[in-house]
Amino acid sequence: MSMDRKTTTLLLIRHGHTIGGEERRYKGHIDVELSERGEKAMQRLAEDLAGLDIDAVYCSDLKRATKSASIVSAALGLEPLVVSALRERNFGRWEGMSFDEISAAYPEEFSRWAQDPLRFSPPAGESTVEVELRTLSALRSLIDRHRGGMFCIVAHGGVNRIILCHFMGLPLENIFRIEQDYGCLNIIEIFEDGLPVIKLLNGGPGCPAREGRVPA
């Protein structure tokens, strides 16, 4: 496929399904592995992307992202490049806990979180605003590096939502209005004037990539 080199294309991917991924717990920096289901889904996505003129694949340094990126990179003849700033949010002492467990064990902190979900930081963790700062700093650097090209980022649900809110001009309060399923693909085109256009959001089975229609 030929590509308009004046347009920068970002393929934003969430890592595949993880071991224990069916449990709704805040994993954060817990270094969980991909499940067999997750590996198979990433292999299918890698097959969809094989042959595209992709310059590089970047990923978080957590295992679920590095493994996913390795599968995608192998199909492209590339090596994944780790960017630690793309890590999922650090939930501190809340990591590994469910929503109900947090509200029961930390009622005061949970109340403060409900009142200010963007700026409140879980004990020993990060706030959403802090994650936004490190994520967007890394994103701007990667876009500058690949002006006119196509590149991949393999990251996490929270990180991806922050990136998508940024491109859509949405306040961070809207991050949980954006779904990011395991192994999903988002396609963003950024024009010379900096205008971003979302070409695909939360793509899964049957998405344009699987029909050979990834923007080129």
pLDDT in tens, 97-127: 998 999 999 999 999 988 998 999 999 999 9
Q: Is residue 34 part of a domain?
A: yes
On the question of pLDDT at 213 being above 90, the answer is no
Segments forming the whole domain that contains residue 85: 8-90+126-211
User: Mean of the pLDDT values across residues 20-33?
Assistant: 87
Calpha distance 146→83 (Å, rounded): 15
Q: Is residue 111 part of a domain?
A: no
| Residue listed under structure tokens 């590339």 | 78
pLDDT in tens, 163-176: 999 999 999 999 98
Calpha distance 47→72 (Å, rounded): 8
Q: The CATH number of the domain where 133 resides is what?
A: 3.40.50.1240
Query: What pLDDT sits at residue 193?
Result: 81
Query: What pLDDT sits at residue 26?
Result: 86
For 38-184, strand residue ranges (E) read: 56-59, 81-82, 150-155
pTM of the complete model: 0.91
Contact call for residues 188 and 10 (beta carbons, < 8 A)? yes
In the chain, how many domains are there?
1
Query: What pLDDT sits at residue 2?
Result: 38
Q: Is residue 81 part of a domain?
A: yes
Please indicate whether residue 62 or residue 5 has the higher confidence score (pLDDT): 62
User: Mean of the pLDDT values across residues 121-146?
Assistant: 96
Q: Is residue 68 part of a domain?
A: yes
Q: Is residue 105 part of a domain?
A: no
Is the four-CA dihedral 211, 15, 110, 162 of positive or negative sign?
Answer: negative
Contact call for residues 145 and 6 (beta carbons, < 8 A)? no
Calpha distance 42→45 (Å, rounded): 5
